[in-house]
Structure 1
Amino acid sequence: MKILDKYLLKTFLGTFATVFVILFFVFILQTVWLFIAELAGKDLDFFMVVKFLAFSMPRIVPLVLPLSILLASIMSFGNLSEHYEFAAMKSSGISLQRAMRSLTIAIAILSIIAFLFANNVIPYAEFKFINFRKNIAQAKPALAITEGQFSDVGMYNIKVNKKSGENGNRLTGITIHQKAQNGDGGKTVIRATNGELISNEKTNLLQLVLNDGNYYQDIVPKKYEERSKLPFAKSSFKVYRINIDLSQMNKVDTKDESVSNTNNMLNVSDLKYTLDSLNKNRDNDIIAFSETSTSRLQVLNNNKAPAPRKKGLVKNLLSLFDNEKKGTILATASSNAQSLLYSIDATKTELDNKKKNINSHILSLNDKFVIVYACFLMFFIGAPLGAIIRKGGIGLPIVFAVLIFISFHFINTFGKRISQEDGLAPFFGSWMSSMILTPLALLLTYRATNDIGLINLDVLLTPIQKAFQKIFQKIIPSQNKE
């Protein structure tokens, strides 16, 4: 390896490491803020907080890595250009492509590591992260409830005045608001003097035993005029048990995916196998529904009355029956048609949900390869851009890096959301941002290689200058004549 390659690698990798650590710390703070409701006021010890953050860290890497490469490339090459080191290289016959060769190899190695990380580490960490969040409430159920404020626990909002006991399982001064199952349901309030939380790590159920309390429930009458009376039911109890399903508490809220959507926990081979099963399952459902619908629409073969074969023999089949029989036939036909429409709508909704699940898995599969290409893309945008703007440091490079990465991330999120709703092929949704920014990388590389500025302002300013000259030439002579 030549001295030049060692110098460039040292400059780039040093800047990259610094930028990566800083950005990773910033995104970790964002993760803490995102899950602050689960961490604050839950009496979690330091080890559990560290474990919580450790399982959430790997998912940040696909965001931090491309941005770090982009910013490090702009800063490194901008610093070299600013100090005329590139000018010295070119005067010695070393082109920009030759200077980027060793760094391109380094980015290739970094991309392979990123793929292995996304394919193995991230799925494992995602699995551990989700299960850790669930086990917090199972192993220490009192952590799900905070003193002096309402805590959202499944279908209940629970407030306690004080927690006691070894694990905080004993509760005093309990107020519970039960969520309505639908928009028309009445409000339910439960108050108890004390209670106890009981859980088992082998199940998803958390049992809350209440002692000496009252149960209040608003009743919504069917008749609208009776609702102004605000009727309610009240009862007292010595012991009242509530079973809370903890599985409903563990939704993955960063990308709107629940625990049942395991696409983020699978590697490439698992995703391919799962996609094959999901597609076969959906195709079988379509075939089964088609056969069922066809059989329902067929004319009964066991009809004893032969169908008339001559035209005009029977102009209207209903004319063969009396009025009462006609009404029965029409009502039956209408009921069958309505039932078929309901069946079609329900099946369509089910098939759409399965298609969205398939799209999520395809997006996850493509994301593991997008990060590899994104590393190259950001390098071939940042390196030429830094050589063109000739500015190092943390000023102008950060502005360009943030603008480019925000555009990349916005387009990527937009494409994946459309693909998720089946408005675009998942492949194009995953690769949309890369496809759009690839021409920018080629353009910047071409302009940097040929020593062309970022924007040729003469092309824009010359027509404007000529227009103003013509205007002044018309105005000034008229003033001289006066």
Structure 2
Amino acid sequence: MLTIIDKYILKRYLATFSVMLLLFAPIGIIIDISEKINKMLANQVPFLKIAIYYYHFTIYFMNNLFPIFLFISVIWFTSKLANDTEIIAILSSGISFTRFMRPYIIGASIVSIIVLLMGFWVIPVSSEGYNNFRYTYLRNDGKQLMQGDNTDVYRQINDHDFIYVNSFNNDSKMAYNFSLERFKKEKLEYKITASRIQWNPKEKNYTLFDYTKRTVGPQNDVIEKAPEKKMKFSFDLQDLAPVVYIAETLSLGDLNAFIDKEKKRGSSNISVYLVVLYKKYSVPVSAFILTIIAVSVSSMKRRGGMGMNLAIGIAVAFSFVFFDKIFGVLAEKSSIPPLVAVWLPNIVFGILAVYLLRNAKR
């Protein structure tokens, strides 16, 4: 049962956080427009596409920086409570500091659930819209960069089939020097090769040029050739060269299925995909950690007033985001396990939160 004090603090928690988001979102948009307006004009981007981009940009921007906004907002209104001696009055009434923290934990729970659900379904859609626009209109050779490494692609597409292409063009839906090998009980059953392979969107199949199929027999091999042949395969174009940010654009169920498929294929980008998956869970948990740190730091009056608390808060918040980004990159580029790298900032700052909370209780 929430008391009047609980409702008062919870209302301030959620209201201040919401106002902080609404204040910083337009600032982020204005800064982004000032940096990219020249490229948008040069590429003659339609206004509707720009409007849709900034809708996705706002969600993407707020999701990435929400720990900073949350931390600053909690520091702000808690410092105001401390300066107005409201916290002293609450604690003097016999309420323990742990009990005083309850509305903060409830607020953090609400924020965490919203962030978690958005990370599962809303953020992937906005990430796709944001990155598609950025690579298409705002970066030189963006389409090539978006596709990632599309040369010498070798993939296992299921338990039996392996494909290889020398190069792949996503615009023309054409791959060159294609080969498919089918194995049965670790023995080659047949091999298909083609100088080119073209995807046919209407017919949902592929056209193979200079087609050759060699079926391995017990004594003699059977060779089949044709200048052109249409076939259906169990792989799609995304299997040849998935876009570099593919994991960010998938909902939770699709991401789990995609990671399982890539593990079977021995993909070299598994660490990148796992970082995206684990962050869907680690980022919401950070709301609790940062809330505890913020209350512990700002619940006492300090010389310098709110300014000192805000300075400490901004420093801690940016440190958290910095370590979160650094360890995310290390997980993608080094041998550090993605699970450890993603959760390490939460563990370190969680220990800091416990230490500061114990001091604040005293």
TM-score normalised to structure 1 length: 0.51
Q: After superposition, what is the alpha-carbon deviation per residue over 1:297-342, rounded to whole angstroms, capped at 9, x for unaligned?
A: xxxxxxxxxxxxxxxxxxxxxxxxxxxxxxxxxxxxxxxxxxxxxx
Q: Alpha-carbon deviation of 1:40? A: 3.9
Matched, 1:204 2:171: yes
Asked if structure 2 preserves the Cα contact closer than 8 Å seen for 1:366 and 1:427, the reply is yes
- From 247, 266, 290, the equivalent of 2:250 is 266
Q: In structure 1, what is the equivalent of residue 16 of structure 2?
A: 15
Mark the CA change 1:129 to 1:73 in structure 2 (over 3 Å): closer, same or farther: closer
Asked if structure 1 preserves the Cα contact closer than 8 Å seen for 2:328 and 2:338, the reply is yes
SS in 1 for 2:331: helix
Partners in 1 of 2:342 and 2:55 — Cα distance? 27
Mark the CA change 1:419 to 1:51 in structure 2 (over 3 Å): closer, same or farther: same
What are the equivalent positions in structure 2 for 1:299-378 lying under 5 Å apart? Answer: 354-355=267-268, 357-378=269-290
What are the equivalent positions in structure 2 for 1:87-98 lying under 5 Å apart? Answer: 87-98=88-99
What are the equivalent positions in structure 2 for 1:82-121 lying under 5 Å apart? Answer: 82-121=83-122
What are the equivalent positions in structure 2 for 1:143-158 lying under 5 Å apart? Answer: 152=140
Q: Alpha-carbon deviation of 1:35? A: 4.1
2:294 maps to amino acid? G
Partners in 2 of 1:124 and 1:155 — Cα distance? 19
What are the equivalent positions in structure 2 for 1:48-59 lying under 5 Å apart? Answer: 48-59=49-60
Asked if structure 2 preserves the Cα contact closer than 8 Å seen for 1:20 and 1:64, the reply is no
Asked if structure 2 preserves the Cα contact closer than 8 Å seen for 1:408 and 1:437, the reply is yes
Asked if structure 2 preserves the Cα contact closer than 8 Å seen for 1:77 and 1:384, the reply is no
Q: In structure 2, what is the equivalent of residue 416 of structure 1?
A: 328
What are the equivalent positions in structure 2 for 1:215-294 lying under 5 Å apart? Answer: 259-282=243-266
Mark the CA change 1:276 to 1:48 in structure 2 (over 3 Å): closer, same or farther: closer
Q: Alpha-carbon deviation of 1:380? A: 0.6
Mark the CA change 1:119 to 1:394 in structure 2 (over 3 Å): closer, same or farther: farther
Q: After superposition, what is the alpha-carbon deviation per residue over 1:233-252, rounded to whole angstroms, capped at 9, x for unaligned?
A: xxxxxxxxxxxxxxxxxxxx
Q: Alpha-carbon deviation of 1:123? A: 0.6
Mark the CA change 1:394 to 1:127 in structure 2 (over 3 Å): closer, same or farther: same
Partners in 2 of 1:115 and 1:391 — Cα distance? 38
Q: In structure 2, what is the equivalent of residue 400 of structure 1?
A: 312
Asked if structure 2 preserves the Cα contact closer than 8 Å seen for 1:411 and 1:433, the reply is yes
Q: Alpha-carbon deviation of 1:32? A: 3.4
Mark the CA change 1:275 to 1:45 in structure 2 (over 3 Å): closer, same or farther: closer
Mark the CA change 1:394 to 1:387 in structure 2 (over 3 Å): closer, same or farther: closer
1:51 maps to amino acid? I
Q: Alpha-carbon deviation of 1:359? A: 0.4
Q: Alpha-carbon deviation of 1:447? A: 0.9
Q: Alpha-carbon deviation of 1:75? A: 1.5
Rg larger in structure: 1
1:60 maps to amino acid? F
Q: After superposition, what is the alpha-carbon deviation per residue over 1:217-273, rounded to whole angstroms, capped at 9, x for unaligned?
A: xxxxxxxxxxxxxxxxxxxxxxxxxxxxxxxxxxxxxxxx98344010112222221
Asked if structure 2 preserves the Cα contact closer than 8 Å seen for 1:391 and 1:397, the reply is no
Asked if structure 1 preserves the Cα contact closer than 8 Å seen for 2:275 and 2:338, the reply is yes
Q: Alpha-carbon deviation of 1:46? A: 3.7
Q: In structure 1, what is the equivalent of residue 67 of structure 2?
A: 66
Aligned length: 268
Asked if structure 1 preserves the Cα contact closer than 8 Å seen for 2:121 and 2:252, the reply is no
Q: Alpha-carbon deviation of 1:60? A: 1.4
Mark the CA change 1:433 to 1:133 in structure 2 (over 3 Å): closer, same or farther: closer
Partners in 2 of 1:432 and 1:261 — Cα distance? 23
Q: After superposition, what is the alpha-carbon deviation per residue over 1:152-204, rounded to whole angstroms, capped at 9, x for unaligned?
A: 56799xxxxxxxxxxxxxxxxxxxxxxxxxxxxxxxxxxxxxxxxxxxxxx93
Q: Alpha-carbon deviation of 1:379? A: 0.3
2:253 maps to amino acid? S
Partners in 2 of 1:96 and 1:42 — Cα distance? 57
Mark the CA change 1:359 to 1:47 in structure 2 (over 3 Å): closer, same or farther: same
SS in 2 for 1:414: helix
Q: Alpha-carbon deviation of 1:360? A: 0.7
Mark the CA change 1:117 to 1:42 in structure 2 (over 3 Å): closer, same or farther: same
Matched, 1:75 2:76: yes
Partners in 2 of 1:155 and 1:369 — Cα distance? 31
- Which moved further from structure 2: 55-64 or 375-384? 55-64
SS in 2 for 1:388: coil
Percentage of pairs with the same residue:
24
Mark the CA change 1:154 to 1:63 in structure 2 (over 3 Å): closer, same or farther: closer
Q: Alpha-carbon deviation of 1:391? A: 7.6
Q: In structure 1, what is the equivalent of residue 3 of structure 2?
A: 2
Q: Alpha-carbon deviation of 1:404? A: 0.8
Partners in 2 of 1:414 and 1:19 — Cα distance? 25
SS in 2 for 1:67: helix
More strand by share: 2
Partners in 2 of 1:155 and 1:25 — Cα distance? 28
Partners in 2 of 1:3 and 1:86 — Cα distance? 14
Unaligned runs of 5+ in 2: 145-169, 173-240
Partners in 2 of 1:45 and 1:271 — Cα distance? 31
Q: Alpha-carbon deviation of 1:131? A: 4.1
Partners in 1 of 2:27 and 2:263 — Cα distance? 40
Q: Alpha-carbon deviation of 1:17? A: 2.0
Q: Alpha-carbon deviation of 1:396? A: 2.4
Mark the CA change 1:99 to 1:56 in structure 2 (over 3 Å): closer, same or farther: same
Partners in 2 of 1:13 and 1:34 — Cα distance? 32
Q: Alpha-carbon deviation of 1:382? A: 0.4
Q: After superposition, what is the alpha-carbon deviation per residue over 1:4-33, rounded to whole angstroms, capped at 9, x for unaligned?
A: 112212322232222222233333344435
Mark the CA change 1:394 to 1:48 in structure 2 (over 3 Å): closer, same or farther: farther
Asked if structure 1 preserves the Cα contact closer than 8 Å seen for 2:80 and 2:306, the reply is no
Partners in 2 of 1:90 and 1:152 — Cα distance? 59
Partners in 2 of 1:154 and 1:373 — Cα distance? 34
Asked if structure 1 preserves the Cα contact closer than 8 Å seen for 2:259 and 2:270, the reply is yes
2:296 maps to amino acid? P
2:276 maps to amino acid? S
Asked if structure 1 preserves the Cα contact closer than 8 Å seen for 2:53 and 2:129, the reply is no
